[in-house]
Amino acid sequence: MLNILEFHLQTILFSNVAVIGLGPVGLCILLTLSLFQPSQVIAIDLDERRLELAKKLGATTTINPKKEDVIKKILELTSQEGRKPGVDVAIEAVGTSQTFLTCQDIVCPGGKIANVGVHGGPAPLNLQDLWAKNVDISTGLISGYSTELLLDEVVKGNIDTSPLITHHFKLSEIEKAYDVFRNAGETGCIKVCITPDDE
């Protein structure tokens, strides 16, 4: 996760960042962003429960695309005298063509798009628009090189992952745990904690 966010670190510091998709990956990105102190973090998702959690994890603004026009809202939030509107960093954490297109629409000139969502099909790239804006795009699987750094930040208390654990089960309840996680839309599950039966 951190390797994607570390690319062009100077852009993230004191900048506008949007995270599209608040599943476990998107929420972990929000936690990691706190290390970089962006000036504005915009969290985008269709689930109101996840948007509420995003606020607790550091999002300064939340947007539900079912209720608001994402592009219009972001352009309003980022309009400042002397600069073109849009986010400096748009992070795609869903893996759909629509969310990737949204990143392209909301990124400002000179901005960055980080694609961490896993795409199951093609996603359009509007190069005719992006090339003139000098937009950088980063993609790829998450490597483990930053694991030690992230764990160290958890131990120091700089990253608190406890809000991500929404359900607790004993090992003997593993099938029930899978059902709860599989139906996250109904159960509100983010992450499940499994403990031995003798604890």
Q: Where are the domains of the chain?
A: 2-139, 161-199
pLDDT, one tens digit per residue, over 63-82 is: 999 999 999 999 999 987 66
CA 7/CA 114 separation, integer angstroms: 9
Mean pLDDT of the chain: 89
User: pTM of the predicted model, to two decimals?
Assistant: 0.85
2-139: CATH topology is: Rossmann fold (3.40.50)
CA distance 104 to 125: 8
pLDDT of residue 199: 66
Identify which has the larger pLDDT, 7 or 17: 17
Which residue in 2, 1, 8 sits closest to 113, CA to CA? 8
- Given this model, what pLDDT does residue 13 score? 58
Please name the residue that has the structure tokens 């990105």.
29
